[in-house]
């Protein structure tokens, strides 16, 4: 993939002179890459497994998905040690990497670390800390120190020093840690969340904070978090308020969902549903079946089927020419999808690139020659040519039945479509179709909040070209917490959002 430049850099925190005035926290923004979205999908699938395993009847935490675009600067200790953190409304803990990380922890080595010995206000706690992410468990221990946001100082803030950060997601992350903006009842270890602490110490004028996320890719400023108020320059008109339906995450009622001029195969948010406003999630997340119906209605196609169709288009004409004179393994070797020794380790790099997305699923044919999905698991190196062999065998049957090349490719495309389901897989759209794609509407607080295709489709760079990715992702969150929708940065970027801690409500207005 061709690396993208950072879209926007917002410099230092800008803070008014009085501690009682709203504190403005500048946000930095990074672009979303296709690799990051694929990692996010893997985390979603893992989270689904973790959440489904919980059956103790307690609140089931929606664990952070680690792919937020927006982050800003804080300080810890005296003098302040600087960190870049995600301001995450979907969690309630503050954590940063610790100087006590093992030298084997690459993620710690690549980010700023907290040194307790360098702070005059450090207070030990020592209680163990762990949060389960899709890529593994992040662990460490609690400490206390002064939290600095510009000239605002929060005394005795409990935070976690992370000594183990799992997965490549943490290694590649632009941020050092996370500052949770949820409520105390979902904080791991009973730690008081930073914003709750600010209210207790009288550091904010009002018990509210607001987000403006700049979705302008050409803009110099990534966005702004205002603690203790809101900035009228960042929104138009008045906010519409949705009362919280459950305290912990910022959970509200969503009255409905619609697609302009389109019907869906299954009802979406029928009779109302529950949603959380989550600045720590990039996408729009909902129940798998409903997301599948939405993606189908907007014309999105799963990435795996799309890549498979590309493979079919590129290689089937060659297969048809060779199928009568060569066995399947030799055909696949001759076009670079298998090696002559059936050792996929020497498969051509181009073929591997095309087939990489197919590693998510394995395809077999039943007795009627129709596609049949087995339990998904990763392909091993020796199985990279398996799909090609299946395709060759199908072509033999099709030619014997007098099918044309056009019919064969059409049937193989159908096989490709069976490789994944649009609900829980990433989906793509044709970038040229954006002007004719429908708007979608979320009904919240008695008002329709519309997203245009340019707002709900993500444009990412891949192999030097632009790809358009659907912003809808499927995740089935089980009871008692679910089913739930997650309104991530795609929604929050279009609508300025106020989180009213005191009145337990969320407000939306058109972003300016």
Whether omega before 172 lies within 30 degrees of 0, making that bond cis, reads no
Structure token digits, residue 80? 């302040």
> 88 catalytic, yes or no?
yes
Length of the chain equals 512
Q: Of 452, 458, 442, whose CA–CA distance to 508 is shortest?
A: 442
CB-count burial class (<10 Å; 0-12, 13-18, 19+) for 256: middle
List the catalytic residue out of 88, 145, 176, 476: 88
Check if 67 is active-site: no
C-alpha 206: how far from its chain's center?
Answer: 31
Q: CA 482 to CA 475: how far, in whole Å?
A: 10
Q: 35, 113, 23: which is closest to 72 by C-alpha?
A: 23
Per-state percent for the chain, helix, strand, coil, to nearest 5: 30, 35, 40
Q: What are phi and psi of 346, to 5 degrees?
A: -105, 10
Q: Which of 278, 289, 329, 489 is catalytic?
A: 278
Check if the beta carbon of residue 344 is closer than 8 Å to that of residue 385: yes
Residue 139 is encoded by which pair of tokens? 């662990």
Burial of 255 (0-12, 13-18, 19+ CB in 10 A): middle
Task: Give residues with Cβ within 8 angstroms of 161, minimum separation 6.
Answer: 95, 96, 97, 98, 99, 100, 114, 116, 129, 140, 141, 142, 143
User: Which residue has tokens 């495309």?
Assistant: 413
Catalytic residues: 88, 278
């Amino acid at each position: 993939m061709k690396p993208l430049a950072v879209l926007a850099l917002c410099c230092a925190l800008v803070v008014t002179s009085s501690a009682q005035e709203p504190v403005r926290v500048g946000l930095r923004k990074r672009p979303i890459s296709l690799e990051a979205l694929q990692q996010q999908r893997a985390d979603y699938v893992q989270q689904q497994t973790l959440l489904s395993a919980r059956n103790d009847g307690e609140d089931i935490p929606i664990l952070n998905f680690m792919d937020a675009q927006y982050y800003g600067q804080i300080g810890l200790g005296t003098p302040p040690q600087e960190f870049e953190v995600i301001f995450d409304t979907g969690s309630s803990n503050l954590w940063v990497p610790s100087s006590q990380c093992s030298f084997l922890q690459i993620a710690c080595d690549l980010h700023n670390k907290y040194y307790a010995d360098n702070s005059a206000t450090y207070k030990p706690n020592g209680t163990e800390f762990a949060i389960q992410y899709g890529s593994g468990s992040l662990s460490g221990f609690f400490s206390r120190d002064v939290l600095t946001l510009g000239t605002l100082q929060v005394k005795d803030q409990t935070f976690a020093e992370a000594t183990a950060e799992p997965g490549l997601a943490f290694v590649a992350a632009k941020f050092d840690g996370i500052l949770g903006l949820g409520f105390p009842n979902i904080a791991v270890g009973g730690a008081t969340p930073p914003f709750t602490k600010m209210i207790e110490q009288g550091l904010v004028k009002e018990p509210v904070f607001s987000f403006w996320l700049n979705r302008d890719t050409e803009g110099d400023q990534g966005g702004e978090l205002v603690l203790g108020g809101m900035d009228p320059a960042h929104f138009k008109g008045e906010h519409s308020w949705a009362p919280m339906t459950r305290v912990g995450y910022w959970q509200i009622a969503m009255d409905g969902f619609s697609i302009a001029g389109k019907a869906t195969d299954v009802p979406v948010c029928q009779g109302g549903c529950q949603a959380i406003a989550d600045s720590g999630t990039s996408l729009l997340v909902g129940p798998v079946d409903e997301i599948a119906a939405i993606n189908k209605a907007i014309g999105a196609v799963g990435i795996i089927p799309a890549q498979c169709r590309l493979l079919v288009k590129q290689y089937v004409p060659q297969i048809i020419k060779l199928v009568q004179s060569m066995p399947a393994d030799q055909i696949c070797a001759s076009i670079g999808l298998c090696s002559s020794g059936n050792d996929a380790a020497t498969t051509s790099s181009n073929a591997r690139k095309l087939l990489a997305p197919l590693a998510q699923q394995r395809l077999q044919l039943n007795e009627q020659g129709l596609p049949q999905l087995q339990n998904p698991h990763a392909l091993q190196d020796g199985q990279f040519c398996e799909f090609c062999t299946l395709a060759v065998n199908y072509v033999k049957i099709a030619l014997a039945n007098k099918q044309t090349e056009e019919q064969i490719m059409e049937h193989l495309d159908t096989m490709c479509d069976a490789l994944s389901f649009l609900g829980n897989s990433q989906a793509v759209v044709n970038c040229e179709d954006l002007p004719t794609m429908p708007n979608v509407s979320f009904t919240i607080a008695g008002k329709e909040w519309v997203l245009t295709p340019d707002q709900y489709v993500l444009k990412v760079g891949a192999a030097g070209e632009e790809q358009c990715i659907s912003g809808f992702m499927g995740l089935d969150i089980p009871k008692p917490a679910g089913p739930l929708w997650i309104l991530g940065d795609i929604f929050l970027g279009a609508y300025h959002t106020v989180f009213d801690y005191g009145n337990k409500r969320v407000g939306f207005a058109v972003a300016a």
